[in-house]
Amino acid sequence: MRFFQWLFGGGRNVIAETAEVFRENAEAGAQRKADYAEAALSQYAAEFRHARRGGFDRFMDGLNRLPRPLMVVATFLLFASAMFDPIWFATRMQGLALVPEPLWWLAGTIVAFYFGGRFQIKSQEFQQSVVQSAAMVPKVIENIRRLDKLRHDTPGVADTGTDSELAQDAISPQRNQAIEAWKGE
């Protein structure tokens, strides 16, 4: 008896505690993961909750959208100019041939950083919208449940409850002028 009291004594389970040294308690591990995920989502949602953009931010966002379309239009205009005035086009391309290679590398780096930064900003805005959408899920589910209760094929949707006047009106025939007009023809 003393051996079992020593082994399982004090309301503790020495075997379970010893096993947890070598193998994680699955239930406690799952709870820690759930708590971590909940804390991370809460922190992320709080970070973007009050992000409102002012007029200057919207103007700069619009200005930042110009380079890509302008580069595409300019490139196609170069193709068109090569077809309409090959001499003018060849003259400009000869000028570009004189640009040193390090300057091309610098231009490429600037464009890469611009588009990389732009991608980063848009990616963060997308993640923000995902968090906002995820926060609305419980309300949307509740609204869907309410709407489903209003469907004509939901059991009990036409139940009048304790309203006897409504129950009487529901079973009393009403005059239908369209049917009476049809019968009159």
Q: pLDDT digit string (tens) for 106-143? A: 988 888 887 777 777 778 888 888 888 888 888 888 88
**Among candidate residues 98, 133, 157, the one where a domain is terminated:** 98
Q: Are residues 39 and 78 in the same domain?
A: no
Quote the DSSP letter at residue 154: S
Amino acid 77: pLDDT: 93
Q: Please report whether residue 23 resides in a domain.
A: yes
Amino acid 7: pLDDT: 64
Q: How confident is the model at residue 160 (pLDDT cuts 50, 70, 90)?
A: confident
| Cα-based angle 65, 69, 72 (whole degrees, multiple of 5) | 150
Amino acid 5: pLDDT: 66
Q: Are residues 92 and 105 in the same domain?
A: no
Q: Please report whether residue 156 resides in a domain.
A: no
pTM recorded for the entire structure: 0.34
- What is the residue range of 17's domain? 1-47
Task: Write the CB contacts of 115 (distance below 8 Å, at least 6 apart in sequence).
Answer: 68
- The yes-or-no verdict on residue 3 having pLDDT over 80 is no
Of 3 and 181, more confident: 181
Q: Note the pLDDT tens digit of each residue in 9-52.
A: 666 666 777 777 788 878 888 888 999 988 888 887 777 666 67
Amino acid 72: pLDDT: 87
Q: Please report whether residue 133 resides in a domain.
A: yes
Q: Are residues 94 and 104 in the same domain?
A: no
**Among candidate residues 32, 67, 98, the one where a domain is terminated:** 98
Q: Please report whether residue 81 resides in a domain.
A: yes
Q: Please report whether residue 184 resides in a domain.
A: no
Q: Please report whether residue 177 resides in a domain.
A: no
Q: Note the pLDDT tens digit of each residue in 56-114.
A: 888 887 887 888 889 889 989 989 998 998 888 888 888 888 889 989 889 888 888 87
How many separate domains does the chain show? 3
Q: Reduce the DSSP state of residue 66 to 3 states and report it.
A: coil
Amino acid 164: pLDDT: 84
Q: Are residues 24 and 61 in the same domain?
A: no
Task: Write the CB contacts of 52 (distance below 8 Å, at least 6 apart in sequence).
Answer: none
Token pair of 127 as six digits: 């993640």
Q: Please report whether residue 3 resides in a domain.
A: yes
